[in-house]
Structure 1
Amino acid sequence: MPQLFCIALTTGLLSGLWAWIADSFHLLTWTGFLGCTSFFATQGDLRSLMGSIASNISGVVWAMVMIYASTIIESSVINYVIIAVVSFLMCAQAHKKWLAYIPGTFIGACTTFAADGNWKVVAISLFVGALMGYAMKHSGLYLHLFLKKEQTSDNLTESTQNY
């Protein structure tokens, strides 16, 4: 069975599981899929998972900074400046290796805005979604290796029986 098919299969199964978990625990299903997507867009290893999660959560924090600042200062011009400065900082933080995934930072921020600043649910949903993405990919890889070994052992058994 092709590797991509195995990953697609486990992704489909675990996507259904994630939807049930999100619904059961009042999390945001679509936000979890953004956390999953954020992971899938990286190199796909454990280090990338950690960087994706850190970047997503930093985006949540930056969004809350912008939301909070906009409630203190009632000037749209000043708020535009705040957006510009914070967006700069969201990119500049990438000099830290564990925050280098800039798209993940913007995913966290945008998701927080879309959820009307419900940062706790957003952060948990992004975190669990990233873990689900890791599980989707790696369970697919393990399934592929397992099926490949089974096929190899079947071929060996078949070829030895011919002698």
Structure 2
Amino acid sequence: MKNYLGVGISVGVLAGLWTQVSVQLGLVTWVAFIAWACFFAAGGGATGFRKGLAANLSGVVWGWLASLVAARVGFPGALAIIVTVLAFVLCVQAAAPLLSFIPGAFAGTAVFFGTSFAFWPTVLALVVGACLGWASGILGERIQKAVDRSPGTSPSEPAEPAEPAGPVTPAAA
């Protein structure tokens, strides 16, 4: 549990601040949380930031293009065909290393659709969310280091023993 204390504190505080600020400014609060989750799911740090945000933004762009096509075609089954092609593209773009986080691309498209096709508000919230992920990762590490150095914990103390892998049997007497 202790290993997650730093990130828990940093995420909690930043989430509260983001919620207050975004509501006051009329920004799309929930979209940032999706990008924030993608940051951690893509590995955190610089890699999670780059891959998560790039995939999220590509998903928005592909979703925007799909919405343009859907608005211009009106035959039965058109939407299903558009979604089929869109899902295919979101997967095959993962051949590019920067876009290799497929869930992030789907999340980007989904939040674009979820905001009723609000392109710039969606993009802004995704960028803020990725930045919040980065900040919470850095702050979480710093808080965790401070907690680990707190009184009663010393670097010279031995580490706690690992949990046994199997059932423990009493020692023979």
Instruction: Give the TM-score normalised by the residue count of structure 1.
Output: 0.87
The amino acid of 1:114's aligned partner reads G
2:160 matched to which residue of 1?
Answer: none
Equivalent residues of 2:58, 2:108 under 8 A apart: yes
Change (3 A) 1:155 1:35: closer
Change (3 A) 1:118 1:50: same
SS in 1 for 2:77: helix
* Structure with the larger RCO, 1 or 2 (CA within 8 Å, 6+ apart): 1
Q: Deviations over 1:85-129 (max 9, x none)?
A: 121011000000000000000001011111110011011101101
The structure whose residues are more often helix, as a share, is: 1
The amino acid of 2:124's aligned partner reads I
Cα-Cα RMSD: 2.0
Equivalent residues of 2:149, 2:155 under 8 A apart: no
Structure 1 residue 152: Cα displacement: 7.8
Structure 1 residue 30: Cα displacement: 0.7
SS in 2 for 1:76: coil
> How many residues are treated as equivalent by the alignment?
156
Instruction: Give the TM-score normalised by the residue count of structure 2.
Output: 0.83
Where do 1:18-57 residues align within 5 Å?
A: 18-57=18-57
Return the alpha-carbon distance in structure 1 between the equivalents of residues 112 and 127 of structure 2: 13
Return the alpha-carbon distance in structure 1 between the equivalents of residues 5 and 153 of structure 2: 21
1:113 matched to which residue of 2?
Answer: 113
Q: Is 1:3 the counterpart of 2:33 in the alignment?
A: no
1:104 matched to which residue of 2?
Answer: 104
Return the alpha-carbon distance in structure 2 between the equivalents of residues 35 and 155 of structure 1: 35
Return the alpha-carbon distance in structure 2 between the equivalents of residues 26 and 132 of structure 1: 18
Q: Is 1:123 the counterpart of 2:97 in the alignment?
A: no
Return the alpha-carbon distance in structure 2 between the equivalents of residues 120 and 52 of structure 1: 18
Equivalent residues of 2:41, 2:48 under 8 A apart: no
Structure 1 residue 155: Cα displacement: 8.4
Change (3 A) 1:73 1:150: same
SS in 2 for 1:75: coil
Q: Percent identity?
A: 26
Q: Is there any run of 5+ residues in structure 1 with no aligned partner, and where?
A: 157-163
Structure 1 residue 10: Cα displacement: 1.2
